[in-house]
Chain A
Amino acid sequence: MSSSVSSPDKPRTVTGKVFALSDRAIAWLFISPTILLLLAINIFPLVWTIYLSFTNYRANQPGRAIRWVGTRNYERLLGNEDIWGYLQATAHFVLWTMLLQVVIGFGLALLINRNFKGASFWTTVILIPMMLSPAVVGVFWTYIYQPQTGIFSYIVNFFADVGPLDMIGSVDLAPWSIIIVDTWMWTPYIMLLCLAGLRSIPDYLYEAAEIDRANAWQKFFYITLPRVMPFLMLAVLFRGIENFKMFDMVVELTSGGPGSTTEVASINLKREAFEKWRTGYSSAFAIILFVTVFGLSNIYVKALNKVKQ
């Protein structure tokens, strides 16, 4: 059939025939909306923020002339002891939440994976916290943490007689109060991904190990852990980044207090940017946070890829 053979100087695709466009042009036509959107809502703000971080711009005084200040914002930031405090609070929050959630989440997944009677019911129950809004969670945990009437204090006192427990008001306990809430809320997420990993392990591997007379630990380290690790690490990556920027739940629960014990980076950033209106300075802080998260997650993804292969 002569019509099915295309001549080399004519475009080959149907659209190409209709609009007389080359394949390459059509490709661009399809991806350009995405690229434009990306430029508009991701790349431009990023570049603009980088620019602002070198100025003394204040967003509440739009009329004022913008002055280039060089690296002064960065120098101030890195020389500021408080900033290190906020970053420390953030790191404390991220590390502990991840550690607790991995241990508890993996443990729960191992339990649920035993497929006991009612396992799917319990899975659903465990997943509920994850589906709530962080702000709502923050608010109702303030009631749970209420020293006199809250159930948390009641339960702790049931086991150990320590008197009314002011989780949110105490300098020592406040950082743990947000860790507990985040763990309560997001452990199900880690569990869910671990469960996906566990379900992907074929029975015959365990059978082979059984024949080889392996004990429970060997089965865990040779079969279970390597298979679940990629899933677990992915979950930790997602949650770690989220927790690095944790804002809503903490604001509702402690608003960074008492003092600034739970003032994680994002809360301080919001204060500087939208309460003190130091836009240039807070832009610099945002860039530092961005570079940190970006760098850390890149290293992490490298490790993840190594585990995966």
Chain B
Amino acid sequence: MSRVVLNNVTRNFGAIEAVKDLSMTINDGEFVVLLGPTGAGKTTTLRLIAGLEKPDRGTVEIAGTDVTAMAPTRRDVAFVFQQYSLYPHYTVFDNMAFPLRAPGRNLTPEQIKKRVHEIAELLRIESKLENRATQLSGGEMQRVSIGRALVRQPEIFLMDEPLSSLDAKLREDLRVELKRIQRELNATILYVTHDQLEAMTMADRIGVLSSGKLVQLDEPRKVYETPSNIYAAMRLGSPQINILDASSLKDTDLPANTHSVGVRPEDIVLGSANGTLAKVLTVEHLGVETVILMESEGRNIRAMLGGDAPLAEGDETSFAIREGSAICFDRQGEIIS
């Protein structure tokens, strides 16, 4: 396991800039999650590290060596592909054993068998080991694909939405399991997901990508509490953060150049005496909490309350912002610290 460094990496596809001047360091044993909307360049970033794409500019370093010009075979990375990529004519066992049979590894068949069974048990696909790769459900294929990476001990694991097609229960279980494996092996992982819960719970640091640019790379709490710009603020948190015009707010102890303010839904206080009036549009009961969508002066505002809020659609209420919870952004949408 080891450090991976990207230095000002750029990759264009014709007119599309898939990755723009990206610099980041993934430390030894670190779990970094890449977040970003579809087309943001997450997959391209992983492929650049794996060597499946060559950067137009910039360099890639793995374990202190410049690997920019090296073929994927020589880089020692493991990749869990977004589209599974199993070898269709072989069994699950053979698929998972494949990387172990690579030339130069010199493992005995017993060692291979033991390792594959270990990982298969972990991913709960032991009973499927004799199935052909084509006789699996999507979720099973995804787990085999993860297994094929985990049997190895590469410099870095690159995982492209590895849990996306699993059901909620299994996803949660594997999330915990993956995190445990990562700690145990002290593995370096770069992980792509759309799921912010995965991002928040697994990541040591979260990287937010926006059209090929790295907007922020920080610990989950930091990204959540002090997002570097509005874009990053919108990527984390569910329901989404409220972005309000500074001019529309009454309390004015905000910095002078504040253009807009981000307020997390849990920082909206309802029914306060001197708050702004609002009309409740929808009420969603999620069990532990309740999400309320309100309308005030033509803007939608989301609030999250603990327990069962005694509100119904159409109710009139008033809201205020919890003191000190507003995140201030300037005209360009960058945070004011």
Binding site for B on A (CB under 8 A): 204-205, 207-215, 218, 222-223, 226-227, 309
Contacts and interface: CB of A to CB of B under 8 A. Distances in A.
B231 interface: no
A218 B104 CA distance: 13
A50 B77 CA distance: 67
A218 B102 contact: yes
B101 interface: yes
B89 A210 contact: no
A211 B51 CA distance: 9
Contacts of B78: 211
A210 B75 CA distance: 10
25 contacts: A204-B85, A205-B85, A205-B87, A207-B81, A208-B85, A208-B86, A208-B148, A210-B73, A211-B52, A211-B72, A211-B79, A212-B99, A213-B76, A213-B99, A213-B103, A213-B104, A214-B98, A222-B89, A222-B90, A222-B98, A223-B87, A226-B88, A226-B90, A227-B88, A227-B89
A226 B89 CA distance: 6
Contact of A212 (B71, B89, B102, B104): B102
B103 A208 contact: no
A213 B73 contact: yes
A205 B101 CA distance: 17
Nearest to B105: A213
Nearest to A211: B79
B220 to A, nearest CB: 28
Nearest to A225: B89
A223 B103 CA distance: 17
B83 interface: yes
Contacts of A223: 87
Interface residues of B, number: 25
A214 B105 CA distance: 11
Given A208-B148, A213-B104, A214-B73, 16 more contacts: A204-B81, A207-B72, A208-B81, A208-B86, A209-B98, A211-B79, A212-B148, A213-B103, A214-B102, A215-B102, A222-B87, A222-B98, A223-B87, A226-B89, A226-B90, A227-B89
Query: Interface centre among A211, A214, A218, by most B CB within 10 Å?
Result: A211
A224 to B, nearest CB: 11
The B interface, classified by DSSP as helix, strand, loop or mixed, is loop
A213 B72 CA distance: 8
Query: Interface centre among A207, A213, A214, A218, by most B CB within 10 Å?
Result: A213
B101 A208 contact: no
A208 B77 CA distance: 11
Nearest to A217: B103
Given A222-B87, A226-B88, A212 B98 contact: yes
Contacts of A212: 98-99, 102, 148
4 nearest A-B pairs in the assembled complex, by CB-CB distance: A226-B89, A208-B85, A212-B99, A213-B102
Nearest to A207: B52
Contacts of B79: 207-208, 211
A11 to B, nearest CB: 43
Interface string B58-100: 0000000000000111001111010101111110000000110
Contacts of B291: none
Contacts of B85: 204-205, 207-208
Interface in B190-210: none
A271 to B, nearest CB: 47
B50 interface: yes
Nearest to B148: A212
A227 B134 CA distance: 13
B104 to A, nearest CB: 8
A88 to B, nearest CB: 36
Given A204-B81, A222-B90, A222-B98, A211 B103 contact: no
Nearest to B145: A208
Contact of A204 (B71, B83, B89): B83
Interface in B35-60: 50, 52
